[in-house]
Structures are given as structure tokens and as C-alpha cells.
Amino acid sequence: MDKGIKAIIFDLDGVICRTDRYHYLAWKALADKLGIPFDEEVNQRLRGVSRRESLEIILGARGGAYSGAEKLAMTEEKNAVYKTYLTAMTPEDLSPETLAVLRALRRRGYLLAIGSSSRNARQILERLGLGDFFDAVADGTQIARSKPDPEVFLLAASLLGVRPGEAVVVEDAASGVQAARSGGFRVIGLCSADHDPGGEVSVEGLSQLLDIFR
Ligand code: BG6
Ligand code: MG
């Protein structure tokens, strides 16, 4: 990456920690109860997307059959299940590799931030022992539009005092890659065996960042 890069903005769910799995399990419980098909393929489309928009994707054409109040109750039910997973999290849920990479990037002089659509982001960071770690946290409680809108990344950059062109976003979601691109950020996609979000550079694990940000 260029010399002009000053900051790295990380997505949270699925990048810093495995809470993407908990989102999946909580939505799956709701979908099963409603008798709606839900699988990993649908789940990929929920990455980075707000709670309410995720519900609309899951309901699809069935969405018209439910009132706004019923949909609100469904998102609350999903979030309650999701939170039961969060309350069981401890600093052990932060992988040693991730912690080592974050510390090394800080030692190398980069500003580090979170840019997450989640309204639970701060609780998760606290649970992981990262409550005070990042130089800025922009999350779902501070934005009007979730990814693929760039709002959360623009807020993170502004909190850090850098321009979008001076920051790189690390994302596991196609919606997040799109958000970063439309905000004018460089973007690294975190891939897994069954999912590649795109991005100008792809990595399979965060330790590869240490080869990119020297
Ligand atoms: C994103 C997740 O980080 O946050 C999405 O990738 C999730 O799956 C979104 O829907 C909102 O999260 P929350 O915790 O506010 O329901
Ligand atoms: Mg994510």
C-alpha cells in the first residue's frame, strides 16, 4: 500500500471476531420458527447490512404479509437471541493472531478504527477487552444509513482526522467493500473458503496485513 496511508478502518463482525456466526445462528432461529428457508447463501447477503434490512432480505416476497410492528418484534427477537451469544463472550474470543496484528500495526504507526453497522459494536469490543483499544469507533448507533452507504467509514475517518484517501478499510462483506469504494477508501477484502467480498486486495487472514502495511 502507498506511503500516504495513515489509518486502517476495520469492520467488526467477521473481521475482528466471529460474531458473524452468531448473527447467522440468531437469524436462522427466527427463520426456522417462521418456516422461511434460510441458508449460508442468504446469510452472505446480510453481512454489513442493518438489522431491519437483513430481515427484509430474509422475508423476501413474504415481507408484505407482515406489519411494521410485527417486523419490529422480529428484529427484537433476533437481537435478543444474538445478545445471549454476546453475553457469553470473553477476551478469549479475540484470537491471539488478531490481537498480535492489531498491536503490530499500531507499533508501525497506523491509526486504527472500527467501522461497523452494528448497534452492538461497543458491547462486543468491551467483551473482547478492546473497549479502549481503537483510536476511533464508528458504529450503527451513530449513522442513518448502513453499508453499502459509506457513512460509517466517512464518520470513522473524520473521527480519526484523516481523509478517505489516507485510509484503508478491511471488510468481509460485499456491502462493506462497496461502501468503502464509494466513500473513496482503499479496501482489502477478507475472504473465507466460501466467500470473497471483492476488494482491490484479498487476504485470507489478518496476519497477511503485516505484509501489506510495513
Ligand atoms: C453488521 C453485520 O456488522 O451489523 C450484520 O455484518 C448486522 O450482519 C449489522 O445485521 C447490524 O448489527 P446489529 O448488531 O446492530 O443487529
Ligand atoms: Mg462483517
pLDDT tens track for 22-62: 999 999 999 999 999 999 999 999 999 999 999 999 999 99
Q: What is the pLDDT of residue 3?
A: 75
* Ligand 1 atom at minimal distance to the Cα of residue 79: 16
**C-alpha cell recorded at residue 214:** 510495513
Ligand minimally distant from the alpha carbon of residue 47? 1
Task: Mark 139-175 as b/e (b = at least 16 C-beta within 10 Å).
Answer: bbeebeebbbbbbbbbbbbebbebebebbbbbbbbbb
pLDDT at 204: 97
d(CA 48, CA 100): 25
Residues of the chain with CATH 1.10.150.240: 20-86
Q: Which ligand is nearest to the CA of 197?
A: 2
Nearest CA to ligand 1 atom 1: 48
* Residue 193 pLDDT greater than 90, yes or no: no
pLDDT band at 154 (very low <50, low <70, confident <90, very high): very high
Q: What is the 3-state secondary structure (H, E, C) of 34-83?
A: HCCCCCHHHHHCCCCCCHHHHHHHHHHHHHHHCCHHHHHHHHHHHHHHHH
Q: Which CATH architecture has domain 20-86?
A: Orthogonal Bundle (1.10)
Write down the pLDDT at residue 111. 98
CA 20–ligand 1 middle distance (angstroms): 8
Residue 170 phi/psi, 5-degree rounding, is: -115, 120
Give the residue range(s) of CATH 3.40.50.1000 domains in the chain: 7-17+93-212
Residue 194: pLDDT band (50, 70, 90) is confident
Q: Does domain 7-17+93-212 have CATH number 3.40.50.1000?
A: yes
pLDDT (tens digit, 9 = 90+) per residue, 10-24? 999 999 999 999 999
CB of 197 sitting under 6 A from ligand 1: no
| CB-ligand 1 contact for 13 (6 Å cutoff) | yes
Annotated active-site residue 20? The verdict is: no
Concerning whether 39 is annotated as a catalytic residue, the answer is no
pLDDT, residue 1, reads: 72
State the DSSP code for 90: -
Pocket mutation for ligand 1, best pick of 11, 12, 13, 55 (most atoms within 8 Å of C-beta): 13
CA of 107 to the centre of ligand 2 (A): 25
> What is the full DSSP assignment across 125-183?
HHHTT-TTTSSEEE-TTS-SS-TTSSHHHHHHHHHHT--GGGEEEEES-HHHHHHHHHH
